[in-house]
Amino acid sequence: MMDLLNYKPEKEFSQKHLLRLSDYTPDEILQVLSLALKLKKQMKEGLRPPLLAGKILAMIFTKSSTRTRVSFEAGIYQLGGTAQFLSGNDIQLGRGEPISDTAKVLSRMVDGIMIRTFKQSDVEDLAKFGTIPVINGLTDLLHPCQILADLLTYYEYKGSFSGKLAFIGDGNNVANSLLVGCGKLGLNMTLACPEGFEPDAEVLAAAKEAAAQSGAQLVVTHDPKEAAENADAVYTDVWASMGQETEAQEKYKHFTAYQVNEELTSLCKKDYIFLHCLPAHRGEEVTPGIIDGPHSVVFDEAENRLHAQKAVMVLLMQDKKP
């Protein structure tokens, strides 16, 4: 068993942003997760230390979301700060104004930026041209905040980052970041997807490089049974991500054999947990019996978005001690 709550950092946390998990060392990821556990424990005890008192987080959404907005907004308030919501109508990234100008203006008015958008390059340009922390709330390529919550949930149920996680479905932004997170922390992962829907090649290469250091085994297969075999956790996501609604019906033809159901999970370990980043489409990527059954931890996982992101904000936005 690993004592994550009392984790002793190897080095001082030095990251300025959260753009992609591959930028973080295993030690830095564990620092985030350890602080998330501490903040969660404090909240359950009725304590809300104002670690970000007076801080302002600008939240840019060109892609709408329930969990991302509520978790970041509630999180910054619980830490003593405030949030400003900027929708795609309020801010026209790269259209009405160059991203470099947006980054420079916001840097003079707020203390951090969280952005949920389409292009990964937009997130990285905000960080490049601004002088304040930038947090990637989701792009078409990556979803690092979700994976921090997933890893926290896995630890809470399994007590360590050993074992095997199976991801069944599209090699999308969640799968991309999950490969990196598992590779960094030494958690074996097998991803099963239809041909033509594999994870991003560059991200997979970075994940395998991390896995070579941690000892994790990362496997991409087209056989969902191979992935589910002896798994400690099974994870899926919607077959058509936000923005892909027009191609949804075409995609579904490829994914029918990749549903997480009672037959597939019978191959997992008896005490497996079921993960899903939500929103879920019952009867498509997962059956109601699985997502609403005794192995499902999806609402703990959703709650952990709050705690993981609070930890990220504290580590990135808190005034550094002289």
Residues 140, 305, 307, 309: which is the catalytic one?
305
Domains of the chain in start order, with CATH, are: 21-142+304-317 (3.40.50.1370), 144-301 (3.40.50.1370)
Rg (CA), the chain: 19
Look up 146 and say whether it is catalytic.
yes
Residues of the chain above pLDDT 70, percent: 98
| Omega before residue 279 within 30° of 0, cis | yes
C-alpha 282, offset from chain centre: 21
Q: Which residues contact 169 (CB under 8 A, 6 or more apart)?
A: 175, 192, 193, 236, 237, 239, 255, 258, 285
- Residue 95 clears pLDDT 90, i.e. is over it: no
H-helix or E-strand spanning residue 144: helix 144-158
Q: Is the pLDDT confidence value at 248 over 90? A: no
Catalytic residue among 17, 67, 69, 143: 143
> Catalytic site residue 15?
no
pTM: 0.97
Predicted local distance difference test score (pLDDT) of residue 252 = 87
Helix (H, G, I), strand (E, B) or coil at 235: strand
Conformational region of residue 117, where left means phi above 0, alpha means psi within -120 to 50, and beta covers everything else: beta
Catalytic, 170? Answer: no
Indicate which residue of 17, 20, 69, 116 is catalytic: 116
Q: What pLDDT digit, counting tens, does each position of 224-242 carry?
A: 999 999 999 999 999 987 6
Query: How many CA atoms lie within 13 Å of 199's alpha carbon, on the beta-carbon side?
Result: 28
Q: Which of 67, 237, 259, 307 is catalytic?
A: 237
Average pLDDT of the chain? 96
Lowest-pLDDT choice from 80-89, 141-150, 295-304: 80-89
DSSP letter string over 163-202? SEEEEES---HHHHHHHHHHHHHT-EEEEE--TT-PPPHH
321 pLDDT above the threshold of 90: no
What integer is the mean pLDDT of 247-256?
Answer: 85
Catalytic residue, from 31, 78, 146, 259: name it.
146
Catalytic residue among 277, 295, 307, 309: 277
- Report pLDDT for 242: 62
pLDDT at 322 over 70: no
Active site residue 300: no
At 33, the pLDDT band (50, 70, 90 cuts) reads very high
120, pLDDT greater than 80? yes
- Answer whether residue 251 shows pLDDT above 90: no
The token pair at 244 is 């892909």
Segment 37-54, tens digit of pLDDT: 999 999 999 999 999 999
Neighbours of 297 (CB within 10 A): 20
Q: For this structure, is 108 an active site residue?
A: no
* Average pLDDT of the residues in 199-209: 98
Of 73, 145, 134, which is closest to residue 104 (Cα–Cα)?
A: 134
Torsion of CA 234, 240, 241, 247, to 10 degrees: 160
Q: How far apart are CA 79 and CA 52, in angstroms?
A: 5
Q: Catalytic annotation on 17?
A: no
